[in-house]
């Protein structure tokens, strides 16, 4: 396309403002380019959408959610959360500014679109109501630990300028007969009274009661209470439930949620984006970031954050200047502590114990890392890198033949 590089720059600047309408226009342009067979330019815009979705993601344009969607008294610092009657432990935490001190969640494009769709329903409630449809009000996030589910719920609330009533379901489960059901009823009554987003975290805790034979009767009562309360809340407020074990959820409970969003482990591109963001202060080049992403393997955002923080701490204490070689050295030093190098098939293990295999594996992972950069990271000659690569190929060919 003519003048595409100028269009690309315009799109980048526009996307960084975080306006959802602008983003939609860029998405439309990408789709049109694709349809017209201009795959290369469409991919460039796709990449741009992806990278800015991570950096700018949910925060920039704050949406004031309509009173017709979420009504009720204002939550203030003086309002106390309800407590468990037996133990006096609060049933929920009230978070008045859910975005405060939280990092921006980073997602792949599919997830970004799913969340943007949810936000646009809440943002454009009146457009929906004019057409005689109501926005959905409930969403279940499910996926492995550490993938940013709780973070995402909080960022959604921050984006809508709503305080969060955050209840961990395991905190509602009481050993006193009847108290769990009462806690649930009290929690919902509280959330319905205030203008807030209700977040039900660790939602599978109820399902775990099934494992205890003494709890079966109680569980029935508790699930019924939960269903009744979810139904009663269906036309008021916003509710997000979060679970690691979607398979454990009662199907009737699952059905009560209008949206089910899977927040899975980040893909390779998102991992790279996460590391680029978490390690932004080190100003690492792309090849070093790709090496780190390869070493980290398919880990959660939370693991990558820990990895990045440990790396920064190690570099800070070593007194070394940041360079490809010192970053690799620091990586080798922290891997054993992070459990990233424990399995002998893992890239982290190879980096520490078997450099030849590491070189072969990373060069054949099609990450586009140049041999020259790898030589800098490993402090060896380029010919050593190239020799190791051939040696690895020969070894793989031999083991395939055998
Ligand atoms: N997608 C992500 N983008 C940015 N940071 C992330 C992401 N996922 C996880 N993190 C980092 O990991 C931390 C923990 O994430 P969070 O508690 O939201 O995970 P979770 O999915 O709720 O985990 P669990 O299932 O164990 O409760 C976050 O505070 C953040 O620092
Ligand atoms: Mg969580």
Q: How far is the CA of 151 from the centre of ligand 2 (A)?
A: 7
Query: What is the radius of gyration, based on Cα positions, of the chain?
Result: 25
Task: Reduce the DSSP state of residue 53 to 3 states and report it.
Answer: helix
Contacts (Cβ under 8 Å, ≥6 apart) of 229:
184, 185, 188
**Does ligand 1 come within 6 angstroms of the Cβ of 304?**
no
Q: Could you tell which of 148, 149, 204, 271 is best to mutate to test the pocket of ligand 1, judged by most ligand atoms within 8 Å of the CB?
A: 148
Q: What is the dihedral of CA 368, 370, 373, 375, to 10 degrees?
A: 120
- In this structure, the answer to whether residues 242 and 98 fall within a common structural domain is yes
pLDDT in tens, 104-127: 899 988 999 999 999 888 888 888
CATH number at residue 145: 3.40.50.300
Q: Would you state the pLDDT for residue 344? A: 63
* pLDDT over threshold 50, residue 247: yes
- In this structure, the answer to whether residues 282 and 393 fall within a common structural domain is yes
Helices (H) and strands (E) in the chain, counts: 19, 6
Q: Would you state the pLDDT for residue 62? A: 60
Q: Which atom of ligand 1 is nearest to the CA of 145?
A: 25
Q: Would you state the pLDDT for residue 208? A: 65
Q: Would you state the pLDDT for residue 59? A: 46
- In this structure, the answer to whether residues 212 and 107 fall within a common structural domain is yes
Q: Which atom of ligand 1 is nearest to the CA of 54?
A: 3
Lowest mean pLDDT among 4-8, 190-194, 260-264, 328-332: 4-8
Structure-model confidence comparison of residues 16 and 317, the more confident one: 317
Q: Would you state the pLDDT for residue 104? A: 86
- In this structure, the answer to whether residues 246 and 297 fall within a common structural domain is no
Contacts (Cβ under 8 Å, ≥6 apart) of 272:
289, 290, 293
How many structural domains comprise the chain?
3
Q: Would you state the pLDDT for residue 61? A: 55
Q: Would you state the pLDDT for residue 210? A: 62
**Does ligand 1 come within 6 angstroms of the Cβ of 347?**
no
Lowest mean pLDDT among 97-101, 238-242, 247-251, 294-298: 247-251
Q: Residue range 58-81: average pLDDT?
A: 77
How far apart, in whole angstroms, are the C-alpha atoms of residue 364 and residue 377? 17
pLDDT in tens, 180-194: 889 999 999 999 999
pLDDT in tens, 189-213: 999 999 999 999 988 887 666 666 6
Lowest mean pLDDT among 27-31, 142-146, 261-265: 27-31
Lowest mean pLDDT among 25-39, 99-113, 206-220: 206-220
Q: Which atom of ligand 1 is nearest to the CA of 141?
A: 21
Q: Give the ligand at the shortest distance from the Cα of 143.
A: 1
* pLDDT over threshold 60, residue 168: yes
Q: Mark which of 262, 277, 306 sits at the end of a domain.
A: 262
* pLDDT over threshold 80, residue 243: yes
Tell me the residue length of the chain. Answer: 402
pLDDT in tens, 133-145: 888 999 999 999 9
- In this structure, the answer to whether residues 254 and 107 fall within a common structural domain is yes
- In this structure, the answer to whether residues 237 and 293 fall within a common structural domain is no
Q: What is the domain extent for residue 14?
A: 4-56
Contacts (Cβ under 8 Å, ≥6 apart) of 277:
54, 55, 104, 106
- In this structure, the answer to whether residues 33 and 127 fall within a common structural domain is no
* pLDDT over threshold 90, residue 163: yes
Q: Mark which of 213, 242, 262 sits at the end of a domain.
A: 262
- In this structure, the answer to whether residues 252 and 286 fall within a common structural domain is no
* pLDDT confidence band for 80 (50 / 70 / 90): very high
- Highest mean pLDDT: which of 10-14, 113-117, 212-216? 113-117
- In this structure, the answer to whether residues 276 and 382 fall within a common structural domain is yes
- In this structure, the answer to whether residues 109 and 195 fall within a common structural domain is yes
**Does ligand 1 come within 6 angstroms of the Cβ of 149?**
yes
Q: Would you state the pLDDT for residue 60? A: 47
**Does ligand 1 come within 6 angstroms of the Cβ of 103?**
yes
């Amino acid at each position: 396309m003519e003048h595409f590089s100028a269009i690309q720059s315009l799109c980048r600047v526009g996307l960084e403002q975080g306006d959802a309408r602008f983003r939609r226009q860029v998405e439309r342009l990408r789709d049109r380019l694709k349809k017209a067979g201009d795959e290369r330019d469409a991919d460039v815009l796709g990449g741009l959408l992806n990278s800015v979705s991570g950096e700018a993601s949910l925060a920039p344009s704050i949406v004031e959610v309509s009173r017709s969607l979420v009504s009720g008294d204002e939550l203030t610092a003086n309002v106390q959360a309800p407590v468990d009657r037996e133990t006096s432990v609060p049933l929920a935490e009230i978070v008045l500014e859910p975005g405060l001190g939280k990092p921006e969640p980073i997602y792949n494009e599919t997830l970004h679109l799913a969340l943007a769709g949810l936000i646009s329903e809440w943002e454009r409630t009146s457009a929906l109501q004019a057409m005689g449809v109501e926005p959905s009000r409930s969403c279940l996030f499910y996926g492995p630990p550490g993938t940013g589910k709780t973070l995402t719920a909080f960022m959604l609330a921050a984006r809508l300028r709503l305080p969060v009533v955050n209840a961990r379901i395991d905190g509602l489960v009481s050993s006193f007969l009847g108290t769990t059901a009462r806690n649930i009823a009290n929690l919902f009554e509280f959330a319905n009274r205030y203008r807030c987003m209700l977040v039900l975290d660790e939602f599978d805790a109820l399902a775990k009661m099934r494992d205890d034979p003494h709890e079966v009767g109680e569980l029935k009562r508790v699930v019924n209470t939960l269903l009744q309360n979810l139904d009663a809340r269906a036309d008021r407020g916003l509710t997000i439930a979060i679970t690691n074990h979607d398979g454990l959820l009662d199907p009737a409970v699952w059905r009560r949620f209008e949206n089910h969003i899977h927040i899975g482990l980040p893909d390779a591109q998102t991992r790279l984006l996460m590391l680029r963001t978490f390690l932004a202060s080190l100003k690492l080049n792309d090849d070093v970031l790709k090496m780190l992403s390869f070493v980290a393997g398919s880990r959660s955002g939370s693991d990558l954050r820990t990895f990045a923080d440990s790396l920064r701490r190690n570099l800070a204490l070593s007194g070394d200047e940041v360079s490809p070689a010192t970053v690799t050295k620091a990586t080798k030093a922290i891997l054993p502590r992070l459990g990233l190098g424990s399995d002998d098939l893992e890239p982290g293990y190879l980096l520490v114990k078997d450099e030849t295999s590491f070189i072969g594996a990373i060069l054949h992972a099609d990450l586009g890392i140049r041999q020259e950069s790898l030589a800098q990271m490993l402090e060896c000659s380029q010919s050593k890198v190239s020799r190791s690569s051939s040696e690895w190929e020969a070894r793989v060919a031999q083991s395939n033949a055998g």
